Structure 1
Amino acid sequence: MRLNVPLLDEDELAEIAAVLSTGMLTQGDRARDLEDLVRGVTGTAHAAAVSSATTGLHLSLVALGIGPGDEVVMPAYSFPATANAVVQQGAVPIFVDIDPETFNIAPDAIANAMTERTRAIMPVHAFGLVADMDPILAIAGAHDLPVIEDAACALGGTYHGRAAGSLGTTGVFSFHPRKVITTAEGGMITTNDPVLAERIDVLRAHGAVRGELFMEFVAAGFNYRLSDVHAAIGVAQMRKFERIVTSRHSLADRLAERVAQIPGVTAPFEPDGLRHTYQSFVVMLEDGIDRDAVIRAMRAADVETTLGTYGMHLQPYFVERFGDLTAQLPHATRAHRQALTLPLYPQLRDEDLDLIAETLSSAVTANAR
């Protein structure tokens, strides 16, 4: 059993074939269609299709003028692309701890990390659960700082009725095959700021502005566009979008009921007023359980699992650069060591959920220290 299987069918093939038949394969009409569909979900005024969420984060930083020596506050617990985009700008990622229940950045930790060099806050909506944005936005507003939502996992997630990607200055989504919908590879930037949207549009396409006959290059931009072939997959995926998100949520509820019966395992937490997308179904194992041994045991039983995500402060590059931050980041450190992602995707049946839970229970029992 795989960790995730995208929900693909003849729709995606038909959309790809339609693009191929035109001979116009680079960013064009289908990318614009996908942008419109994402704007519809997020309620934002602008959306820009890009080649990945990583390039979307980088482009947001560039468009906001984040540069060498600037500090960007972010959770220590995230896929390293979050921090890498900051480093690529010559800026400094400032790692802060997470809430142990939600895996999301702790607002109090943000406030304590602010310095005169802080230029942005980058919350991550961990595994599809929107971070606690009201206090984050209050901190940002008090210091006149932009907020970049790393919403890679959270398309369709909501925070007290407001959509992920609409809360900050920009929102950035991923369409990697493990995400809620996929374009094989790709991403999207959303914003309500028309000036910022125009800057992003220019920067993602070589810094070019098209005139009557030729382009003029007004910035040292990037080639961060999404091809129409990839966008076509996304358009077909968006027709299934609500069904996919609803199915993931229903399956997560049923899997959580089973997981709750296993001693030493804590199911994901969804606060009142928030809608989790369950891009990943991540449980926490008690400290006395060898998480890595559980992964190996479940793999041996043909059930794919993996860690939740990464304590970025524990990765060799960041340890070498910033030193040992383990003591300052206890919750992110524990999550890196004890969180476990279980399979979750719409094609699973109840008997599959039973198998996941039974395999997990056996693996936990066998690998308690």
Structure 2
Amino acid sequence: MMRLNVPLTGAEELSAVAEVLESGYLTQGPRAAEFERQVAQLVDVPHAFATSSATTGLHLALHAAGVEAGDEVIIPDFSFPATANAVIQQGAVPVFVDIDLATFNMNPELIAAAVTERTKAIMPVHAFGLPADMDGINASAAKIGVPVIEDAACALGGTYRGRQAGSLGTAGVFSFHPRKIITTGEGGLITTADDELAERVAVLRTHGAVRGSHYMSFIDAGYNYRLSDVHAAIGVAQMVKLEYILQQRRALAKVYADALASIESVAAPVVPEGTEHAYQSYVVLLEAGIDRNSVIDAMREAGIETTLGTYSMHLQPYFRERYGIVDEQLPNATRAHHSALTLPLYPQLGEEEVRRVVDTLRNVLEAQA
């Protein structure tokens, strides 16, 4: 079976973990600090804080940015539910905005209609590694005076107008789940150039504590959202491979785009001018009326793993029952939920394997026509 994704790991990661185990320093320590330094340097921001996951990172960033119970946070509807869950965990209310179907990213033109007096943050998602239209999003945020938290879970290495994802708003949050650009097994990281927000994140991440010369003082009710040195050591080893990983993903994405051009019923990812895609996933849009789930089943029978793009959150039972949103309010996200298809993409994949995926997809679609 051709897998959807396979992390690029090997002897370097094993050795890095062994060194940590031998040191006896297993919790957040020097390896976490080194990983933070490396990511901060890449993103070109002064502050980075490794967290136990991107979900805890989003929650922590929202808390540090001043979002409180009853506040509203504007987010795209088409995203993994962790985006909305982090808002809800803070006691706030997610306000779902539709997407641009070409990019799968939040449509900035729809933000104004979603703003109320309770709006306290905007949290765009860089869908599948493609940075969102941040000029439009930041302009909307500046108009109402609220912070922008980038859900950059998939976008390490993605750029927008020459700037790295994670440096485009008030704060950015990355994921290092095994399906992401690089992995720490489980883990996340917050980046920011905002000194005051960084101070709050540092305190809240570690139980609300400030360390003194002899013991800690607890100045807030914080969390244990730290990343262990075991996980961070994997991240440090992965950062050495980041440039290669990005190069391979982008090269294979071009092979996909060229091969898919002959299939009229499949739209390849669109990358706006001035934006560089990280290609955490290669997600295509099938023509309306095609049974995407049947395509997934047929591809699996042919030995190729595929899956949906991601979730239109308003279609999920919890959000549908709690917020009562109907499909007509979010037509593009609804369409993407039913028609987006993720194809295999990882650095170890060969060009011939990519062409096999496309040929198989073509045959499946022709058989179902």
TM-score bracket for the superposition, by shorter chain length: over 0.9
Structure 1: runs of 5+ lacking an equivalent:
none
Counterpart of 2:246, as a letter, is: V
Counterpart of 2:72, as a letter, is: E
How many pairs align? 368
Residue matched to 1:160: 161
CA RMSD in angstroms comes to: 0.8
> Does 2:18 correspond to 1:40?
no
Structure 2: runs of 5+ lacking an equivalent:
none
Cα offset, 1:263, TM superposition? 2.7
Structure 2 Cα separation of the partners of residues 367 and 290 of structure 1: 9
Residue matched to 1:61: 62
Residue matched to 1:171: 172
Partner-residue secondary structure (3-state), 2:335: helix
Structure 2 Cα separation of the partners of residues 186 and 108 of structure 1: 33
Counterpart of 2:266, as a letter, is: V
Structure 1 Cα separation of the partners of residues 62 and 328 of structure 2: 29
Cα offset, 1:194, TM superposition? 1.1
Structure 2 Cα separation of the partners of residues 167 and 34 of structure 1: 20
Counterpart of 1:52, as a letter, is: S
Structure 2 Cα separation of the partners of residues 67 and 196 of structure 1: 15
Residues 9-45 of structure 1 show CA distances to partners (whole Å, capped at 9, x for unaligned) of: 1110111111111000000000000001101110011
Partner-residue secondary structure (3-state), 2:174: strand
> Does 2:108 correspond to 1:143?
no
Residues 217-269 of structure 1 show CA distances to partners (whole Å, capped at 9, x for unaligned) of: 11111010000000000000000111101110010011111112123001111
Structure 2 Cα separation of the partners of residues 24 and 324 of structure 1: 48
Residue matched to 1:93: 94
Cα offset, 1:325, TM superposition? 2.3
Structure 1 Cα separation of the partners of residues 38 and 365 of structure 2: 42
Cα offset, 1:324, TM superposition? 3.4
> Does 2:271 correspond to 1:270?
yes
Counterpart of 2:336, as a letter, is: A
> Does 2:133 correspond to 1:132?
yes
Structure 1 Cα separation of the partners of residues 368 and 196 of structure 2: 55
Counterpart of 2:83, as a letter, is: T
Residue matched to 1:281: 282
Residue matched to 1:259: 260
Partner-residue secondary structure (3-state), 1:155: coil
Cα offset, 1:62, TM superposition? 0.9
Residue matched to 1:229: 230
Counterpart of 1:333, as a letter, is: T
Residue matched to 1:300: 301
Structure 1 Cα separation of the partners of residues 237 and 144 of structure 2: 41
Cα offset, 1:367, TM superposition? 2.5
Partner-residue secondary structure (3-state), 1:284: strand
Counterpart of 1:328, as a letter, is: Q
Residue matched to 1:310: 311
Q: Which moved more, 1:51-60 or 1:65-74?
A: 65-74
Residues 259-301 of structure 1 show CA distances to partners (whole Å, capped at 9, x for unaligned) of: 1212300111111111100000000000121100000000111
Cα offset, 1:213, TM superposition? 1.0
Residues 298-331 of structure 1 show CA distances to partners (whole Å, capped at 9, x for unaligned) of: 0111100000000001000011011132101000
Residue matched to 2:341: 340
Partner-residue secondary structure (3-state), 1:146: coil
Structure 1 Cα separation of the partners of residues 289 and 117 of structure 2: 42
Structure 2 Cα separation of the partners of residues 100 and 281 of structure 1: 15
Cα offset, 1:130, TM superposition? 0.2
Residue matched to 1:321: 322
Cα offset, 1:73, TM superposition? 0.5
Cα offset, 1:111, TM superposition? 1.3
1:17-28 correspondence runs (5 A): 17-28=18-29
Residues 162-199 of structure 1 show CA distances to partners (whole Å, capped at 9, x for unaligned) of: 11000111100000000000000000000001111111
Residues 63-101 of structure 1 show CA distances to partners (whole Å, capped at 9, x for unaligned) of: 112111101001000000000011111110000100010
Structure 2 Cα separation of the partners of residues 296 and 13 of structure 1: 35
TM-score normalised to structure 2 length = 0.99
Structure 2 Cα separation of the partners of residues 57 and 260 of structure 1: 37
Residues 333-365 of structure 1 show CA distances to partners (whole Å, capped at 9, x for unaligned) of: 000000000000000112101210111111212
Residue matched to 1:76: 77
Residue matched to 1:214: 215
Structure 2 Cα separation of the partners of residues 103 and 341 of structure 1: 13
Partner-residue secondary structure (3-state), 1:327: helix
> Does 2:204 correspond to 1:203?
yes
Cα offset, 1:117, TM superposition? 0.7
Partner-residue secondary structure (3-state), 1:332: helix
Structure 2 Cα separation of the partners of residues 82 and 5 of structure 1: 24
